[in-house]
Amino acid sequence: MEVGFIGLGAMGQHMAKNLAAAGHVVKAYNRTRSRAEALVSDGVQVMDSAEQACASDVVITLLSDDAAVEAVVFGEGGFIEAMRPETVHVCMSTISVALGERLAAAHTAAGRAYVSAPVFGRPDAAAAAKLFIVAAGDAGAIAHCQPAFDAMGQKTFVVGDEPRIANLYKIGGNFLIACMIESLSEVFALVQKYGVDPVDYLELLTNTVFPAPVYRNYGGMIARQAFEPAGFKLPLGLKDVRLALAAADAESVPLPVGSVVRDHLVSAMAKGYAELDWSVLGWIALENAGLK
């Protein structure tokens, strides 16, 4: 099928490559054109505008935040109007529940199909086509997109017919990862204060009560203070925690741990760590404990 792809960041470049490798015609657009041109040798076609990419069977947007998605979809170019009647827009960005609702309403009003399908996985998972895709929307629209999902991920979870629910799943998942990073950072600071090597401590944790890969991966980064190159930059982590707090505020749900994590992420930003991985919370914990 023809797949328009808008947004070729650390994740998008790998996903577009995998779509092309699976035999799909990939029509890519990126504001920084060189990112799209770098994929020509992988069989990706370079488009001059987002609207050109929309003339496809499926058009995927994978952009950094709400503002970037709004600029593309609701900007002057006429994104929705450029879609073919049969085109499905798949937003794979991590965006707010509120924007998920607005996008669904706008597409419905225009008679176009819309699916929210954010992903779980870091760039290495994207490169290996091992992402987990969380999709919500019309069942027929999701089925239409499944060949593209299969080329990018190892499993697709369909979580309902309301697109915003997929956004909620992703926000909740990233919130839990942020809380885990904060907790590991605090505990590693604690054991270091007592002279325990955090790498040794992590080895025990991940071979007993916390064997999940997410603990091994992030725990290893924190224990070794290996915060670059960033798989998920600090500002994106702060954005996602703020999305969780906003979703909670809309329904009067307190997230007290979330407030602590947000404040520590803000501290990390203030200290100039914006280019580092969000697991740099490990440094904040060490600083607060007088260890750095």
**Which of the residues are catalytic?**
170
CA distance 69 to 188: 37
CA distance 266 to 274: 10
Q: Are 203 and 193 in contact (CB under 8 A)?
A: no
Identity of the residue numbered 165: I
Which residues, other chains included, contact 228 with Cβ-Cβ below 8 Å and sequence gap of 6+? Answer: 275, 276, 277
CA neighbor of 177 nearest in space, from 266, 88, 256, 240: 240
CA neighbor of 175 nearest in space, from 119, 122, 240: 240
